[in-house]
Amino acid sequence: MLVLGIETSCDETAAAVVDGEGNVRAQAVLSQIEDHKPYGGIVPEIAARAHLSHLDRLIAKAMSDAKVRFEDLSAVAATAGPGLIGGVIVGVMTAKAISMVRGIPFIAVNHLEGHALTARFTDGVQFPYLLLLVSGGHCQILVVEGVGRFRRLGTTMDDAAGEAFDKVAKLIGLGYPGGPAIERAARDGDPARFTFPRPLKGRPGCDFSFSGLKTAVRLAAEALPAISEKDAADLAAGFQTALVESTADRVARAIAVFRADYPTGDTLVASGGVAANTALREALTTVSRKNGLRFVAPPVALCTDNAVMIAWAGVERLKLGWVDGLDIKPRPRWPLDPGAAPVRGAGVKA
């Protein structure tokens, strides 16, 4: 079994070939960070044009490096949402063209399911498991019951964690992308200098909120006559510590629900770009051990957007005989648990 995966949901253009045994035959990734850095964030039109310009070349490279032909493929899988719709369209239409011309099955992958199933690819995690999905656009905690089967326990009521990292980094002058910039600065900072809130810590439920924390950092920064390098480091350290403590608290509450409802489950997984943060990984390791769970986080390269996870999600679906028609539409939003109750709050992420 060989699956070609295509990822174009945001600002990475990627292609990968993965086999049914979980081996990466080849992958090719093009980051657009330098294209978006002058704007302090991702510009959808620039992202879509970059995908259009480079995707064919990256697919050809992945296929060549894997030493396979299109007729050797069992299927082609592409992110069909959620994401920036212009980029998603580029990947989906390319995959559909390959499927039609080469006569191989097409698999539409939910980008979030790609993140969710990565731990099965890297660590062989068995269903059910608890998943903290933290990225630039999403912050959710879900039970992964099986392929295509998710139960959402909590989600953000405003900003996603990665979104908060980017916005805070920008307002204290650390640039883009914010996650790595804040983590670097925080290493030299004093997390106790500024007193920031731990949103929702100690409250019932498993939802997240980071907008108030972001505002607190802004107010602290505005109170300074000018932001020195030391100020930025202290602000970064205080913000990161508060976000991590808040997140760990929400995860601990979700673990209690998970342990009660899924007694055979034994693993907490963190995935998505923010799962690359060292402080967050350390906190989640502690929370997991304290509650008798194993903690798994994929390698950093597979936490950020990549085509390996899309190809692997395609493998998982193909093993179940699940393929899609060429009439499927790209989706800017695509919740993993469409039956979950809506959450009140500005800018709630699906």
Q: State residue 345's pLDDT score.
A: 55
- Integer-rounded Cα Rg, in Å, for the chain is 20
Do 77 and 3 touch, CB atoms closer than 8 A? yes
**pTM to 2 decimal places:** 0.95
In tens digits, what is the pLDDT along the chain, a chain of 350 residues? 999 999 999 999 999 999 999 999 999 999 998 999 888 889 999 999 999 999 999 999 999 999 999 999 999 999 999 999 999 999 999 999 999 999 999 999 999 999 999 999 999 999 999 999 999 889 999 999 999 999 999 999 999 999 999 999 999 999 999 999 999 999 999 999 999 999 999 999 999 999 999 999 999 999 999 999 999 999 999 999 999 999 999 999 999 999 999 999 999 999 999 999 999 999 999 999 999 999 999 999 999 999 999 999 999 999 999 999 999 999 999 999 999 988 765 444 44
Options 3.40.50.300, 1.10.3300.10, 3.30.420.40, 3.40.50.150; CATH for 2-115+302-319 is 3.30.420.40
Of 3.30.870.10, 3.30.420.40, 3.40.50.1000, 3.40.190.10, which CATH number belongs to 126-300? 3.30.420.40
Residue whose structure tokens are 């090719």:
28
Res 342: pLDDT: 85
Domain boundaries, the chain: 2-115+302-319, 126-300
Domains 2-115+302-319 and 126-300 share a fold: yes
Query: pLDDT of 206-258, one tens digit each?
Result: 999 999 999 999 999 999 999 999 999 999 999 999 999 999 999 999 999 99
* 2-7 β-sheet, strand order: 24-31, 12-19, 2-7, 75-81, 106-110
